[in-house]
DNA sequence: CGAGGTCTTGAGAACTCTCAAATCGTGTGG
DNA sequence: CCACACGATTTGAGAGTTCTCAAGACCTCG
């Protein structure tokens, strides 16, 4: 798919789901008066599933850039049709999304524009399975307006902040769609969270798959208890 | 419990969950620099469950006012320990929360202060199982600051908008903690959504919820490519 | 090399916030 | 029962961040 191509209501039969293989997808909401809002981006490896993504009356799921999807299955997200491991995986994905969504509300409700951008960049890097280290290069396929609509800003503000980050030496933007982290520490210091990793990449919370640092997929499904989680 | 009382990390054993019986609870996040954020409120009948509510490193679950909780059980939210109906219910709750959270992101990211307040009030009324009709009286137990921290505003702004709503005859506030809807139509017209009920009160989407009347499911299929749809 | 779109930059406006003070309401103690 | 004290709410004035509108620069693609 190319930028702007849609997966229309993306559930032919109400049950299909996909993963992103390459590129990125965005979930776009358009208000009657034209305001635009992007509810989330999905990167390679992440699941697209109507039941776990929905909640809007009007939306489209669009490709951010050249993107490939892989149809995982036509699966009723219901206990009746899942085996235990599948059910736990679905449920864990759901919980991770609740966590992410809650964090995003905090970002939109309480962070300044620069803080939102910094949080966004760190999130992109971590979800790309990269380290927060100087020199890492990462994909940033969405344009300024997409980022703005995701962060509750406008594109000019996003642009100004990117410019500032470039001038301060935090970030380099060698070509569109691509970015290099130049000063990881400075970027981390821009955001008002302490436990960044745990905050942005919530650990699985269902069925005990505790070791995985991969927020989106808890491929483990043992049934032992991780005990109390979170910072105390 | 009285206002401010906490359910500390509310999962002694990591597995308990409750419902609110009376009053209201709020999920409070405090940033290191003192900024306050309320991720959600829970009203009577709604479920409190760490796995389905979490995602923050630091939070407290506090009573908004005099509140009673009822412990539903000590239940592992995992396929292994649930029967089919329970699992579907948990999963459906999770999906509803994803939906709500997505909507809340839109509210915080793209709505003006008066729109946020109007959306909030309508949400409170609908979740109290009341109709959007002139004259309905409803509980509004949270104070201005709580509302502000939930909506990404500050308490003075909330207060100003409430005052305006009172003067315009949309709302009456006979006593703290209680409100009367005077002009339902006017309140509805303040918000930029069309299908208010479906937007604010998402229908169940697990286990047969699919065929329902809202336009959420079951249209055409799969991936379409209407050329490029991103550019206007 | 030209066209179209994206990104950048600037100037002014708008909305919301901050700080401050007055008012209101409730609970307490005399 | 009344006075007082404390917290919550309201209101005002000014400041600040972000938005809007606009124009120019840049880049990619044909």
> What is the CATH architecture assignment of B1-75?
Sandwich (2.60)
**Which nucleotide has the shortest C1'-to-CA distance from A157?**
D18
Q: Is residue A16 a contact partner of residue B219, using CB atoms and an 8 Å limit? A: no
CA distance A162 to chain B (A): 19
- Per-residue pLDDT at B222 exceeds 50: no
Looking at the complex, report in whole angstroms how far the Cα of residue B69 sits from the nearest Cα belonging to chain A.
Answer: 21
pLDDT at B181 over 80: yes
For residues B163 and B172, give the distance between their C-alpha atoms in angstroms, rounded to a whole number. Answer: 9
Q: How far apart are CA A114 and CA A108, in angstroms?
A: 12
Instruction: Tell me whether residues B91 and A77 touch, CB distance under 8 A.
Output: yes
> Most B CBs within 10 Å: which of A14, A47, A51, as the mutation test of the B interface?
A51
How high is the mean pLDDT of chain B? 84
Delimiting residues of CATH 2.60.120.10 domain(s) in chain B: 1-75
In chain B, residues with a C-beta closer than 8 Å to the C-beta of A105 are 37, 39, 101, 104-105, 108
- Running along chain A, 232 residues long, what does each successive block of 10 average in pLDDT? 82 72 95 95 92 80 94 68 75 90 97 98 96 97 98 98 97 94 97 87 66 35 30 32
pLDDT digits (tens, 9 = 90+) for B14-64: 667 889 999 999 999 999 999 999 999 999 999 998 888 876 778 899 999
Tell if B197 CB is < 7 Å from nucleic strand C: no
- Region(s) of chain A under CATH 1.10.10.10: 112-191
CA neighbor of A147 nearest in space, from A135, A134, A160:
A160
Contact yes or no for B109 and A194 at CB 8 A: no
Residue B103: its chain A contacts at CB < 8 A?
A: 55-56
Say yes or no: domain B84-205 is CATH 3.30.420.40.
no
Q: Indicate if CB(B172) is under 7 A from strand D.
A: no
**Cα(B201)–Cα(B227) distance, rounded to whole angstroms?**
34
- CA separation for the pair A181, A159 (Å, rounded): 17
- Residue A73: is it exposed, middle or buried by C-beta count within 10 angstroms (0-12/13-18/19+)? exposed
Distance in angstroms: CA B4, C1' D5: 21
Tell me which protein residue sits closest to nucleotide C4, measuring alpha carbon to C1': B231
- Residue of chain B minimizing CA distance to A54: B99
Q: Could you give the residue range(s) of every CATH 1.10.10.10 domain in chain B?
A: 84-205
The answer to whether the beta carbon of residue B115 comes closer than 7 angstroms to any atom of strand D is: no
The helix-helix angle for B84-110 and A84-110 (nearest 10°) equals 20
d(CA A135, nearest CA chain B) in Å: 28
Chain A residues in contact with B147 by the CB 8 A cut-off are none
Of the candidates A112, A119, A197, A109, the one whose C-alpha atom is nearest the C-alpha of residue B36 is: A109
The Cα A131–Cα A129 span in angstroms is 7
For the structural domain made of A1-71, what CATH number should be given? 2.60.120.10
Strand C bases contacted by the protein (CB, 7 Å): 5-11, 15-20, 25-26
Q: Are A95 and A205 in contact (CB under 8 A)?
A: yes
Average pLDDT over residues B123-145: 97
A112-191 maps to CATH 1.10.10.10 = yes
Compute the distance between CA of residue B155 and CA of residue B1 in angstroms, rounded to an integer.
Answer: 24
- DSSP assignment of A70-111 equals EEEEE---SGGG--HHHHHHHHHHHHHHHHHHHHHHHHHHH-
pTM of the model: 0.89
Across B191-211, average pLDDT: 74
In contact, B231 and A146? CB cutoff 8 Å = no
User: Where do the CATH 2.60.120.10 domains begin and end in chain A?
Assistant: 1-71
How far is residue B51 from each of residues A91, A119, A146, B94, measured CA to CA in Å? 10, 23, 31, 9
CA atoms within 13 A on the CB side of A207: 26
Cβ-defined contact of B90 to A91 (cutoff 8 Å): yes
| Burial call A145-173: b when 16+ CB within 10 Å, e when fewer | bbbbbbbbbeeebbeebbeebeeeebbee
Please say whether the beta carbons of A59 and A70 come within 8 A. no
Per the structure block, which two tokens stand in for B187? 């309140």
Query: Which DSSP state fits B197?
Result: H
HSE-CB of A72 using CA atoms within 13 angstroms: 18
The nucleotides of chain D lying under 7 Å from a protein CB are 8-13, 17-22, 27-28
3-state secondary structure of A163: helix
Name the residue in chain A with its Cα closest to that of B151: A109
Q: Which of B57, B205, B229 sits opposite A195 (nearest CB)?
A: B57
Look at B84 and B106; give whichever has higher pLDDT: B106
């Amino acid at each position: 798919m190319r930028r702007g191509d849609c997966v229309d209501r993306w559930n032919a039969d109400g049950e299909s789901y996909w993963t992103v293989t390459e590129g990125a997808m965005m979930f776009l909401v358009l208000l009657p008066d034209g305001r635009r809002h992007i509810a989330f981006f999905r990167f390679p490896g992440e699941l697209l599933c109507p039941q776990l993504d929905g909640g809007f009356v009007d939306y489209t799921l669009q490709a951010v850039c050249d993107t490939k999807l892989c149809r995982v299955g036509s699966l009723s997200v219901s206990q009746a049709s899942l085996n235990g491991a599948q059910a736990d995986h679905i449920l864990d994905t759901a919980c991770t999304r609740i966590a992410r969504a809650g964090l995003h509300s905090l970002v939109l409700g309480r962070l300044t524009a620069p803080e939102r951008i910094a949080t966004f960049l760190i999130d992109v890097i971590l979800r790309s399975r990269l380290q927060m280290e100087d020199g890492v290069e990462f994909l940033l396929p969405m344009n300024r307006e997409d980022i703005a609509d995701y962060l509750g800003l406008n594109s000019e503000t996003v642009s100004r902040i990117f410019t500032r980050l470039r001038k301060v030496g935090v970030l380099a933007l060698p070509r569109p769609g691509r970015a290099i982290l130049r000063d990881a520490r400075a970027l981390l210091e821009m955001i008002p969270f302490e436990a960044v990793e745990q905050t942005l990449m919530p650990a699985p919370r269902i069925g005990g798959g505790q070791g995985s640092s991969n927020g989106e997929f808890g491929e483990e499904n043992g049934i032992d208890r991780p005990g109390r989680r979170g910072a105390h």
